């Protein structure tokens, strides 16, 4: 009994802890670095899988233009994608860029595209649908050669705002500062 009483008394002498004021986090800022117009061939439909409807979309070339990078998309990559049971499209595109000076840059670009079932059906049919009618965002990792003028791509986070055209994906890449 005495021990219980001591615990109650001890608790009464604990000083209140001051809650420190934390400054608001800095605003998220980004800067546009380049646009990739990635030409694609018709999708190869693998079929239903454990993740959903699986497709592979071959990448056949394209262009890269912007204030920080200009060049081409090298043929030979692909976008491995699946339509989840909830209708959301998940993408994983792996391809290579070739800068104007010949530097090769690897791209690993992942993201999601979602919209109403009607808009998703129009996109699947190859119709041109304005980008504001659906959500298509990606996050990319780049692998540029060490020591190259593009090495800065290895050291930052990039998000992409994408649009799907009948024969291409257009991704506008932004560096998160």
> 7 or 57: whose pLDDT is higher?
57
**In this predicted structure, what is the pLDDT of residue 22?**
81
Cα(139)–Cα(71) distance, integer angstroms: 20
**In this predicted structure, what is the pLDDT of residue 15?**
58
Residue 10 pLDDT > 80: no
Average pLDDT over residues 163-176: 96
Using pLDDT thresholds of 50, 70 and 90, give the confidence band for residue 69.
Answer: very high
Residue 98 pLDDT > 60: yes
Return the percent helix, strand and coil in the chain, to nearest 5: 15, 50, 35
Residue 14 pLDDT > 60: no
What residues does 71 pair with on adjacent strands?
64, 99
Q: How many helices (H) and strands (E) does the chain have?
A: 2, 9
Average pLDDT over residues 70-83: 97
Of residues 43, 102, 29, 109, the one with CA closest to residue 70: 102
Residue 168 pLDDT > 60: yes
Residue 154 pLDDT > 90: yes
**In this predicted structure, what is the pLDDT of residue 12?**
54
Cα(127)–Cα(9) distance, integer angstroms: 75
The per-residue pLDDT for range 110-153, each reduced to its tens digit, is 999 999 999 999 998 889 999 999 999 999 999 999 999 999 99
**In this predicted structure, what is the pLDDT of residue 38?**
98
What residues does 23 pair with on adjacent strands?
none
Average pLDDT over residues 96-101: 98
Of residues 100, 54, 99, 93, the one with CA closest to residue 77: 93
**In this predicted structure, what is the pLDDT of residue 87?**
92
Cα(83)–Cα(110) distance, integer angstroms: 14
**In this predicted structure, what is the pLDDT of residue 18?**
63
């Amino acid at each position: 009994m005495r021990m219980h009483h001591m615990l109650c008394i001890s608790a009464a002498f604990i000083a209140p802890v001051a809650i420190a004021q934390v400054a608001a986090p800095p605003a998220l800022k980004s800067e546009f670095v380049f646009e990739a117009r990635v030409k694609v061939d018709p999708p190869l439909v693998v079929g239903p899988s454990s993740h959903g409807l699986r497709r592979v979309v071959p990448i056949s070339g394209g262009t890269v233009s912007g204030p920080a990078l200009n060049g081409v998309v090298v043929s030979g990559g692909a976008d491995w994608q699946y339509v989840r049971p909830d209708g959301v499209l998940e993408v994983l595109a792996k391809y290579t860029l070739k800068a104007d000076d010949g530097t090769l840059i690897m791209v690993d670009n992942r993201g999601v595209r979602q919209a109403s079932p009607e808009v998703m059906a129009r996109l699947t049919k190859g119709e041109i649908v304005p980008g504001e009618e659906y959500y298509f965002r990606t996050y990319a990792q780049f692998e540029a050669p060490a020591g190259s003028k593009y090495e800065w791509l290895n050291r930052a986070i990039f998000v992409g705002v994408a649009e799907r055209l009948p024969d291409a994906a257009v991704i506008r890449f932004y560096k998160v500062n």
